[in-house]
Structure formats: structure tokens, C-alpha cells
Amino acid sequence: MTSLGKPIAHESACDHVTGSALYTDDLAGRFPGLLHAHPVTAPHAHARVVALDPSAALAEPGVVRVLGPADVPGENQIGPARPDEPLFPSEVMFHGQAVAWVLAESEESARRGAAAVRVDYQPLPATLDLEAAIAAEQFLTDPLRLQRGDAAAGLERAPHRLTGELFVGGQEHFYLETQSAIAHLDEQGRVFVHSSTQHPSETQEIVARVLGLRKHDVTVQCLRMGGAFGGKEVQANAWAAVAALGARLTGRPTRVRLSRAHDTTLTGKRHPVLGRFEVGFDAQGTLLALRMQLFADGGWCLDLSEPIVYRALFHSDNAYRIRDVELVGRVVRTHKTSMTAFRGFGGPQGMIMIEEIVDRVARTLGIEPHQVRERNFYREGDCTPYGQVVRDPDRMPRIWGELTASCDYFERRRQIAEHNSRAPHAKRGLAITPVKFGISFTTAFFNQGGALVLVYADGSVQVNHGGTEMGQGLHTKMLQVAAHTLGVPMAAVRMMPTQTDKVPNTSATAASSGADLNGAALKVACETLRARLAEVAAPELGAAPDELVFDEGRVFARSRPERALTFSHVAHQAHFQRVPLLATGYYRTPGIQFDKVTGTGKPFHYFAYGAAATEVEVDGFTGMYSVRRVDILHDVGDSLSPLVDRGQIEGGFVQGLGWLTLEELVWNADGRLATENASTYKLPGLGECPPIFNVALLGRASEPDVVYGSKAVGEPPFMLAISAREALRDAVAAFGAGAAGVVELASPATPEAVFWAVERVRRSGSKA
């Protein structure tokens, strides 16, 4: 019996519950002589640094050193994709940007020192508003394009047309563990960095770049993260670089831990996006043509914005076939923190646009939105706007059918209509929405994974792979894969901390691909070892190597299961026979390519599918609402770890619910982020947890060419929360007189936004 596919708890659960699971900053006490770093932050959204005088800071007791641009031995540059991100800027590009760092014996001394650093600024005009930046043509990229058919002609031909726009707000990651790093010089005097990073290899690269070292002089370890969600994909690098610089220059271990307010004001968020669209359709709601522009607020520098906008474009079709399409995306530069990866990586912003469009089409025609959705699903042989054939298009109608039945969708629609006719001030809404999400990094070379597996002569095993653990359960799944493939109990396998000296040149743990890439690599390594061990065990068991079964620590011939050797015995024998007990595994996803010039290719290995039905109730006096029930059916292939997958689905949904209904970022007129902590930025709490929350995994969904038939699960469920937004709109519409027409709803649909939407519907109802 193997644990693969069984609902087991997180591999660190026991450490989590006893408080012994260590996160980066928990290691601080292990470093005697530790220095603490504090940033000197700019009080302007845009300004030139005219002079920086650290003398007063250095006079503060406990202050050891002030780090500025002149202290950088390598390059003062941490941009991952483009050199547009100085670690110590001479031009301030957003309010609160760090222009220098103070190192001191204690946190307090560092803070006092930072306040004492004298910086002279020459303020410059700042652009904070997205539309103003578009009008001023402040762009960080050229237009990015996807095109199929002839959108202009398609719109011309279409019997009905609709134009509109939607602005969707950004989202703060608010991983509970803020950004942190501790750097020290190791026993060989080389740089060792503990970093809360999703991408240790890139952190290593950036640290080496800033210090002017080669990569082999820098080791980066990530024990685990207290959440990341994309926010530590590239934006963990700066803090690691500051800590490493401090350690290198002072010879003392150096710690950076951002306070929550520093974390929210220094790091990027999900991109706010403005969509402008024109759609052509027929009287039944069939989508015929779409032309759409997406403007993403990228903040001050490029970061990952280009692939993020591509992913928004790739998901602007969601699950729907549209013959003539023209999609153009562009990254806009504003004087804000640099927007970055966040679960879904632009996909949610694209998907919400097409769901908005579908709803507007349905309400314009007076047809039920779920009918318009279903009518437009992809069919066998269809291609996406980027020319990729849609694999398994039948999954969507199957999920749709099973979910509408299991959640009693049609009967509940009827009951809700009845309820709404009796309740003038509290209307209910119910909506079902689909998700089709592409899996793979768009940049082909990121789609590789590596693993290193060591078997010791006593039969115990150490496993290393390139992925990082941020709570998503990757290490749990990897332990299951390793134990199953080697045929040993989970307890015989130890997962080692992710470290750059074990697997080199790894990709970020991102794009939901952690288990696909590292799991496949790990499986290869374990198979190599198992094959070698089979050669060793075969003569003793009197059977051919390929007849042997490795199962939970026992090795036996399939035909004679009663005569078994222990795995430990076989490992011991192998060592004596001089059989190598270490193996690497490597995997690259086949067939991934995308041509930016033509906007076509196969950017995804496969698609993950799902659907959610959400019911809400809205109070017409205040706009306050509650989510009454959520039903989800999601496709994770053959689940490697159902309890982990369930957690990803529920957690993704609730995080999406936060983005779409609660979480509103506010910047003051001077560019300061006003919502810098959870007291002003409303996150989903237990009170928002839907009282009825049914989650099911789709059956008969094995995915060929992915490790053990599984599917990626990290990001896709996030977008299931669009059903909550559409349910709110459904309830808002019920306050009107029932006339056909678009129902506008701002995003996030906060109670305030819902209140104004209800008011609009009521007013237009009284006019009609």
C-alpha cells in the first residue's frame, strides 16, 4: 500500500502544530553577532536623490554601517528581465522606495539610524493614475498581440455589438510571513543566504550579481515559506541582496525582515487592469468576434509584467470559442511599487474580462447567463486565439453537467426567483462560471525540473528537488512520489531543504508547475535507483529484475510475494557490490513554444478545468452581502494528494473571493499606499468562509504525460471565485424591474460597490 493518491496531511503538519517548523526569520537566534537592517524610505512618489548623508545615523548608538550605491562591489542592479531596477536608486520611483539601508546591533538602533540618515530629494512630477499614464503614453512594453481570424470584419458582420470597459483592482499578497533573509559567511568564507524565496536559483544569481561574485560562491537555501503566492517569485531577491551585501561588507551575519507596513509599501501586487472591449454576437448569445485592449498597471519597472500580460491575453477566451479575435495588451508605467506575479499570473484579469462580457451579452439579450456560457464552450478540434488546439474540450461540458446536477442549480434558480419576488430588500443571486487554465511557463526554457536522490546503505533516503515549499504541499506530493516510486514507506524518505548546491539552475516554483516539473524529475531519479537495486536483488530472489516489485520497503518477485527482501537489505547489498546509490533526475516539458511575433504557438502543456456555483444574498439598504453556498467541481487529474488538492481549491477560491469582493488597494494623492496593513486592507477571515462549501474532484480525469496522471492545482481554483462576483451581479439585477440590459458592477465588488450597483439598477428600473 502506497500513500500516493491518499489524503494525507501536510508533511510538516506535525512541526506546524508544535511550533517547531522553522521559517527564515526564526533562524535569527542561531547567529551570534547578527546585524539588523532597516530601510531608509523616500517620502515622494517620484524624486531625484540629490544628496545622502549618513553621518548622523552613524553617530547613533548601535549603528554599524549605512549601505548605499557606493557600497555595491558588483552591479547595482536586480532587474530579473531588464536592467531597470537599481537596488539603491538615484531616482525614487514610488512612495516609500528604499534608497539606503542601515545596519545596526538591534532593530531599534537600525530604525533610529534610518530616521537619522539625511536625504535631500528633488521632487519630480508623478503619475499615479492608470488612465493618465495611458494618455501620457507611459508604457513599459510595446503592444503585445494575439490575433485570429478578422476581428474587424467579424464585428462588422455580427448582428449585435456591445462596447464597454471594466477596471479590475489589484491585490496585495499578504502572505502571513513577510519577506525575510539572513545572510552569513560560511565556513569557507563564501556567502550563504537563508531566504524566503520561491526562486532560490534567481536569488543566488541576483546576490552574485550585486556582490560581483560567480554563482558557485553563493548558496541560497529556502527552508519553507509562510505563504508566497507569487509575491516571492522575483521580489524576494532585493532583501537577500541587502542581507548578503551586509554580510560581505561587515563579515557579520545580517538579517532583513520587512515589517508588514514595509512589506506592503515596498513590494508589488497583482496588476490592476483596465479592459476596453467590443464584442459581436448573435441573438442566441453566440460570441462571434471580440476586440479587446488590456492595460496593466505595471508600477515603476518591468519585473514579470510582460509574461503576466501575455497570460492575461491567453485567458481572455476562458472556456469560450470566438472565431474572430484581436487582443492587445500593454504594460503601463506608473509611480507605484512594481506589480508582480500573483497566483494566476494575469490569467484572472483576462478571465474576468470575458466573463464580464458574457454576462453583459446575456443580460442585453435577456438570456440566462449560464445558457450563454454553455452555448459558447470550446468543442473538439477548436483552437484558442493563439492557435493551440484545445485538449480535452469535453471536460468542460462534463463538469458543467455534473455540477449543475450535484448543486441542484436549476431548482435553486427557481427557488431564488421565488424568494426574490417576496423579499424586496434582500435579494439572492446564484451563478455558475467555468475555468479553463493553461499549465506551463510561457517561456519555454523555464519548463524544466531537476532532482537528486541519495539512498544510504541502511535503506534510508534523502530527496532533493528544485521546488520550494510555500504551504502548497509540494514537498508532501514529492515525498509521496519518491516513496511510491522507490517502493518504500514515506517515513524512510527525508525531504531536504531546497538549496542551490543540490540542484542547479532551477526554475521558480510558480505557474502551478512545481509538482509537474519536479515530480517528473524525481520520478526519473527514483526509477534509475530502483532499476539498479532490482539488478542487485534479482539473483537473490531468483527472478528477473523486471519481475520485481518494490512495495513499502519490501522487494519481491511478482509471482512470489511471500518471499521478500527488505529494501534496507537490498541497499546494503548494493553498496557492497559497488552499485551507485545516488541518482539525478531531469525533466523538460515537451512541445512548448510560443512566437511573440505571430502571437501563435503551444504555450501550454495542457489545461486544468473546473467550475463553481455560488449563491449570495445582498441587502438592498446597505449593499452588505453574504456568501450562502459554494459548490465546486475541479479537475486535478489523478490527484497525487487529495487533502492537499482540496486545500488548494478551497484556499484558492477564498483568496479569489477576497480579490473580487473585499480587498481594495488605495493610494493617497501623494502616492502613499493607504492600505498598508490588515486594519485598512480587508482580507477574508473566518466570517467570510461560506457556510456551505462543497468541493469535489472530477473523476475519470487521468492526465497522460504528467507525473502519475495528475494535474497542476495551485492557480486554477483562484478563478472559480468569479462565480461569486457573477452571483452578486445576479442579486443586484434582481433589485431592478426585470428589464434587459447590462448590470454594471465595479471590481472589487465591495459592499459599497454593490450598494451603488443596486442604486443604479433601481434608478434605471424606475425610469423604464
Partner 1 sequence: MPGLRSLNLTLNGDLVQVAAPEHWTLLEVLRYSLGLTGSKQGCDKGDCGACTVLMDGEPVLACLTLAAAAEGKQIVTIEGLAPLHKRAGGSGVDPVQDAFDRSGALQCGFCQPGMILSAKALLDKNPKPTRDEIKQALSGNLCRCTGYTQILEAVEVAAAEARGEVPPGPRWRRFEG
Chain residues 103-122 in contact with ligand FES, contact rule CB under 6 A? none
Sheet containing strand 47-53, edge to edge, reads 91-92, 47-53, 118-123
Applying CB under 8 A, which of residues 1, 19, 578, 597 lies at the interface with partner 1? 19
Cell (9 digits) for 69: 550605491
Residue 231: which of ligand FES, partner 1, none does it interact with, CB under 5 to 8 A by kind? none
Question: Is 715 annotated as catalytic?
Answer: yes
Contact assessment for residue 509 and residue 199, using Cβ atoms and an 8 Å cutoff: yes
Cell of 74: 558588483
- Cα–Cα distance measured from residue 507 to residue 619, given in angstroms and rounded to the nearest whole number: 47
Could you say which of partner 1, ligand FES, none residue 306 binds, taking C-beta under 5 to 8 angstroms by partner kind? none
CB of 94 to ligand FES, least distance (A): 25
Cβ nearer to partner 1, comparing 45 with 649 = 649
Name which of 17 and 176 has its Cβ closer to ligand FES. Answer: 176
- Name the amino acid, one letter, at 169: G
Number of residues that make up the chain = 768
CA atoms within 13 A on the CB side of 306: 16
Answer for the pair 134, 295: CB distance below 8 angstroms, yes or no.
yes
Among the listed residues 678, 744, 756, 760, the single contact to partner 1 using CB under 8 A: 678
- Which of 89, 471, 603, 637 contacts ligand FES by CB under 6 A? 471
- Residues in a beta bridge with 185: 191
Choices 522-530, 537-545, 635-643, 746-754; region in contact with partner 1 by CB under 8 A: 635-643
Under DSSP, is residue 134 helix (H, G, I), strand (E, B) or coil? helix
Is omega for the bond preceding 307 within 30 degrees of 0, making it cis?
no
What track of x and - describes contact with ligand FES for positions 164 through 193 (by CB under 6 A)? Answer: ------------x-----------------
In whole angstroms, what is the distance from residue 741 CA to residue 726 CA? 15
- Alpha-carbon distance of 686 to 666, in angstroms, equals 24
Q: Which is nearer to ligand FES, 39 or 471 (CB)?
A: 471
CB-nearer residue toward ligand FES: 51 or 686: 686
Q: In the complex, what is the shortest distance from the CB of residue 643 to partner 1, in angstroms, rounded to a whole number?
A: 4
- Using CB under 8 A, which residues numbered 371 to 410 contact partner 1? 398, 402, 406
User: Smallest distance, Å, CB 319 to ligand FES?
Assistant: 30
376 contact, one of ligand FES, partner 1, none, CB 5-8 Å limit per kind: none
Whether 182 and 24 have beta carbons less than 8 Å apart is answered as yes
Q: How far apart are CA 429 and CA 613, in angstroms?
A: 10
- Cα-based distances in Å from 394 to 374, 378, 499, 601: 12, 8, 41, 22
Location of C-alpha cell 433589485: 735
Contact pattern for ligand FES over residues 206 through 245, marking x by CB under 6 A = ---------------------x------------------
Alpha helices in 542-685 (DSSP H): 567-576, 642-657
Residue 748 CA to residue 657 CA, distance in Å, equals 9
Rule CB under 8 A: which of 178-207 touch partner 1?
A: 178
State the minimum distance, in angstroms, from the CB of residue 6 to partner 1.
Answer: 10
Beta bridge mates, 483: none
Q: Does 666 bind partner 1 (CB under 8 A)?
A: no
C-alpha cell at 724: 461569486
Q: Which does 34 bind (CB under 5 to 8 A by kind): partner 1, ligand FES, none?
A: none
Euclidean distance between CA atoms 79 and 68, whole angstroms: 17
Catalytic residue among 202, 355, 703, 715: 715
CA pair distance 273, 334, nearest whole angstrom: 13
Distance from the Cα of residue 313 to its chain's centroid: 17
Shortest Cβ distance from residue 701 to partner 1 (Å)? Answer: 8
**Nearest distance from C-beta of residue 465 to partner 1, angstroms:** 18
Return the one option of ligand FES, partner 1, none that residue 669 interacts with (CB less than 5 to 8 A, by type).
none
Pinpoint the alpha helices (H) of 487-641. 514-541, 567-576
Binds partner 1 by CB under 8 A, chosen from 1, 18, 188, 189: 18
Of the residues 88, 94, 121, 174, which one makes contact with partner 1 according to CB under 8 A: 174
Q: Which is nearer to ligand FES, 176 or 692 (CB)?
A: 176
**Which lies closer to ligand FES via its Cβ, residue 171 or residue 204?**
171
Q: CA-to-CA distance for 723 and 730, rounded, in angstroms?
A: 10
User: Residue 469 or residue 635: which is nearer to ligand FES going by CB?
Assistant: 469
By a kind-dependent CB cut-off of 5 to 8 A, residue 694 interacts, out of ligand FES, partner 1, none, with partner 1
653 binds partner 1 (CB under 8 A): yes
Should residue 658 be labelled a site residue for ligand FES when binding is judged by CB under 6 A? no
Residues 260-319 that bind partner 1 (CB under 8 A): 260-261
DSSP for residue 110:
H
Q: For residue 331, what are the β-bridge partners?
A: 296
Q: Please state whether 473 falls in left (phi above 0), alpha (psi between -120 and 50) or beta.
A: left
Amino acid in position 764: S
Binding-site partner at residue 406 among ligand FES, partner 1, none, CB < 5 to 8 Å by type: partner 1
Nearest distance in Å: CB 112, ligand FES: 22
Of residues 460 through 489, those in contact with partner 1 by CB under 8 A are 470-473
Asked if 253 interacts with ligand FES (CB under 6 A), we say no
Give residue number: closest CB to ligand FES: 176
Q: By C-beta, is 111 or 494 nearer to partner 1?
A: 111
Q: In what order do the strands lie in the sheet with 273-281?
A: 144-148, 324-332, 287-297, 273-281, 160-168
In the list ligand FES, partner 1, none, the entry touching 224 (Cβ below 5 to 8 angstroms by class) is partner 1
Q: Are the beta carbons of 287 and 213 closer than 8 angstroms?
A: no
> Least distance in Å: CB of 645 to ligand FES?
15
**Element at 494 (helix H, strand E):** strand 493-495
Q: Which does 654 bind (CB under 5 to 8 A by kind): partner 1, ligand FES, none?
A: partner 1
Radius of gyration of the chain (CA): 27
Interacting span for partner 1 (CB under 8 A) from 278-286, 517-525, 677-685, 731-739: 677-685
Partner from partner 1, ligand FES, none contacting 26, C-beta within 5 to 8 A by type: partner 1
CA distance 618 to 722: 17
**Interface of this chain with partner 1, residues 697 to 756, rule: CB under 8 A:** 697-700
Interface map 686-705 toward partner 1 (x if CB under 8 A)? xx-x-x-xxxxxxxx-----
- Closest Cα partner for 497 from 186, 181, 221, 192? 221
Phi then psi for residue 432, to 5 deg, are -125, 135
Name the residue nearer to ligand FES (CB basis): 39 or 227: 227
Nearest approach, Cβ of 487 to ligand FES (angstroms)? 32
**Other Cβ atoms closer than 10 A to 392:** 16
Q: Measured between alpha carbons, how far is 758 from 590 in angstroms, rounded to an integer?
A: 50
CB of 50 to ligand FES, least distance (A): 37
The entry of partner 1, ligand FES, none near residue 691 (CB within 5 to 8 angstroms by kind) is: partner 1
CB of residue 175 to partner 1, shortest distance in Å: 6
Shortest distance in whole angstroms from residue 680 CB to partner 1: 9
Q: Considering only residues 115-154, where is the footprint of ligand FES by CB under 6 A?
A: none
> What contacts 506, CB < 8 A, 6 or more positions away?
199, 200, 201, 449, 450, 466, 467, 500
Residues near ligand FES (CB under 6 A) = 176, 227, 471
**Which residues have a catalytic role annotated?**
715
